[in-house]
Amino acid sequence: MGVLGSTRGSSLVPILSAIAGGDLGGVSVVTVISNVANAGILEKAAAAGIPHHTVLCAGRPKSAHEDEISSLLHSAGVDIVLCCGWMRILSPTFVARWRHRIINVHPSLLPAHAGGMDLEVHAAVLKAKENVSGCTVSSFVGGGPVNSFYHPTALCPTYSPPPSHPFHLLCYYARFMLLLRRLMLASPLYSEPAL
């Protein structure tokens, strides 16, 4: 698996823990790529001994940096591309090149709060007085078919301060449970337990 990330890399940590614990048999992270030179996800990759690269996008045609990213992914032997806080919309060409092999997780029930990120999404949910939120795992970044949803049953907290902290932790946990489930299904060694 190759990971694309522009931010802290908080999604990478439980994935690496699940791999180390044998919960994602046959899945490994072979490269991490960021478009931000000092992104936290690169530090987490370095600490875990995972090869990592920076592919700067600013001032370059989308096709040029996406070709470079694809080349790095192919060189590393990547089968699955996981977007963990990847803050760029992937082109239809890139998505077609990696068709059915891109996993993206978003911290809202899309299409609600699309384009938002992490705490700002949770703050927007609370501001809109929505009763429930969750996350979405999809096969695209920037649109496309949604593969699955997770709807936590907890109501949004209405107290303060801080209004988004407990809610954020609930959604954070739900996001990782859904993401790990999706990665389990992608594992070549995974099979559904017999009933």
Q: What is the spatial distance between Cα 104 and Cα 122, in angstroms, rounded to a whole number?
A: 18
Residue among 52, 65, 106, 113 flagged as catalytic:
106
Straight-line distance from the first to the last Cα atom of the chain, in angstroms, rounded to the nearest whole number: 30
Please report which helix (H) or strand (E) contains residue 106, including its range: strand 102-106
Closest CA to 167 of 129, 137, 110: 129
User: Is residue 5 a contact partner of residue 83, using CB atoms and an 8 Å limit?
Assistant: yes
Judge if the upstream peptide bond of residue 61 is cis by omega within 30 degrees of 0.
no
Q: Could you confirm whether 100 is annotated as catalytic? A: no
Which value, to the nearest 10 degrees, does the dihedral of the CA atoms of residues 139, 28, 173, 43 take?
A: -100
Instruction: Give the number of other CB atoms < 10 A from CB of residue 192.
Output: 7
Active site members: 106
